[in-house]
Amino acid sequence: MAPRKRRSAAAKPLARSAAPTRRKSALPGFFDSPMVRTAIVVAGVAGLAALGIGLFGTRRFNDEVLKPLSAATFVPLANAAAPQAERAWAETRPWRDQVARILNSINTEEVRDAIADRLSQWASRLR
């Protein structure tokens, strides 16, 4: 019968119930913050844009990257939002008329004089 090899402690398999321990990060939870992740994404996009401008030149970058990208994203959004914006503008017409009447009633010589007096009193208090 062949002799058995002894297992060392380092080669011992992990128990199935115990999960391996993870190292603790120096900044726990710092990169989990949505603000930090957003800042990292913005910095990455700005870096890629700078790299693209450096490689292609400003005119080529504008023609080959920015214009197609804006055509693919902004134009469909604008087309989808335009009817809603027109409807909202039409629905707010009475409110806008009321605000205009209020502003016109306030915009008189008496009100302007009263505001000028208050501002001069306030300015004299600061002196």
**25-49, pLDDT tens digit by residue?**
556 677 788 898 999 999 999 998 8
| Count of CA atoms in the C-beta half-sphere (13 A) of 26 | 0
Counting the structural domains of the chain, the total is 2
| 120, part of any domain | yes
pTM tops 0.85: no
Q: Where are the alpha helices (DSSP H) in the chain?
A: 34-56, 58-61, 67-91, 93-106, 109-126
Q: Which range of residues forms the domain containing residue 71?
A: 34-91
Rounded Cα gap, residues 120 and 112, in angstroms: 12
Residues constituting the chain: 127
Q: Say yes or no: 55 and 85 in one domain.
A: yes
pLDDT, tens digit, 9 for 90 and up, residues 70-109: 888 877 777 887 888 888 889 999 999 999 998 888 888 8
Please check whether residues 44 and 86 belong to one and the same domain. Answer: yes
Instruction: Note whether residue 51 is domain-resident.
Output: yes
Q: What pLDDT does 56 receive?
A: 82
Q: Does 81 share its domain with 115? A: no
pLDDT at residue 108 in the model: 86
